Amino acid sequence: MKATSEELAIFVSVVESGSFSRAAEQLGQANSAVSRAVKKLEMKLGVSLLNRTTRQLSLTEEGERYFRRVQSILQEMAAAESEIMETRNTPRGLLRIDAATPVVLHFLMPLIKPFRERYPEVTLSLVSSETIINLIERKVDVAIRAGTLTDSSLRARPLFNSYRKIIASPDYISRYGKPETIDDLKQHVCLGFTEPASLNTWPIACSDGQLHEVKYGLSSNSGENTETALPEWQRDCVFVRLHDRQRNRSRRIGGVNGR
């Protein structure tokens, strides 16, 4: 049989304190329990670890070698436990966050500085993607997405409310006119998304009650990319805006400037 960690701890305590009674007091155990634990340890090892007299205890040669090794092991175990406890109390390590580009730029980036000041031991890794990913395969700790959580193995909490709106700038309206119907909208330059494709379903109902599937003139998997790709004279096109009610400001998920 192998020695247990409790037996090792009792043996080391007896040696360090110099007596069974003092070890029992320190450990909060009865003298008899401490004595039995050491005897059991000696039986498992097949050697005597202690020389017992009425006045004092001393280590045998085998006990001396065993004590030094076990004491070192227990100290390492205590250090490991302290390190883990400290980690629990002080967050540290690598935190990987995956989110859509606009969320990274407009929602996360303003929070980086205060986060780093509060948790200096945490290293951040920000990744931009627009689709649903496998967190384990991508080694992602936190993913920020819009919609309903469908994976029961994951845990989620709401960060903000988002609302899609169809908008155009005053300059665009004055130049191309204001669309009043879905048929009018088909004549305008609209922006679409290659992913997620659900963003190409605009929040307006057709005559059959179905939501309108936009026919776009320019698309991208990121609204920020779309804005960069547009020529200056086209940067007032219709696009979808994400409104963040909690932060009381607009978050764009389309990719062009508008009011």
CATH number at residue 133: 3.40.190.10
Q: Is the pTM of this model over 0.85?
A: no
Residues 82 and 107 in one domain: no
Say how far apart CA 52 and CA 38 lie, in whole Å: 12
Residues 67 and 18 in one domain: yes
Has residue 52 got a pLDDT over 90? no
**222 in a structural domain:** yes
Residues 103 and 139 in one domain: yes
Chain segment 214-238, per-residue pLDDT in tens: 777 666 666 666 666 555 445 444 4
**191 in a structural domain:** yes
Has residue 78 got a pLDDT over 70? yes
Report the share of the chain in percent with pLDDT over 90: 37
**214 in a structural domain:** yes
Tell me which of 81, 116, 144 is where a domain ends. Answer: 144
* Helix, coil or strand: residue 79: helix
Residues 247 and 202 in one domain: yes
**226 in a structural domain:** yes
**31 in a structural domain:** yes
**Mean of per-residue pLDDT scores for the chain:** 79
Instruction: Calculate the alpha carbon distances from 108 to 16, 45, 99, 115 in Å.
Output: 54, 59, 9, 10
Residues 119 and 75 in one domain: no
Identify the weakest region by mean pLDDT among 9-23, 48-62, 107-121: 48-62
Helix 20-27 with 31-45: angle, nearest 10 deg:
110
Number of H helices, E strands in the chain: 9, 12
Has residue 146 got a pLDDT over 80? no
Single out the residue of 202, 165, 199 nearest to residue 182, CA to CA.
202
**257 in a structural domain:** no
**118 in a structural domain:** yes
| Strand duo 57-59 + 50-52: pairing | antiparallel
**190 in a structural domain:** yes
Element at 203 (helix H, strand E):
strand 201-205
Residues 139 and 66 in one domain: no
Chain segment 119-143, per-residue pLDDT in tens: 999 999 999 887 778 888 889 999 9
Q: Quote the domain boundaries for residue 196.
A: 164-252
Residues 84 and 107 in one domain: no
Q: Of the segments 118-127, 149-158, 161-170, 237-246, which one has the largest average pLDDT value?
A: 118-127
Residues 22 and 83 in one domain: yes
Average pLDDT over residues 63-77: 93
Between 172 and 12, the higher pLDDT residue: 12
Residue 156's pLDDT is 85
What's the structural domain count of the chain? 3
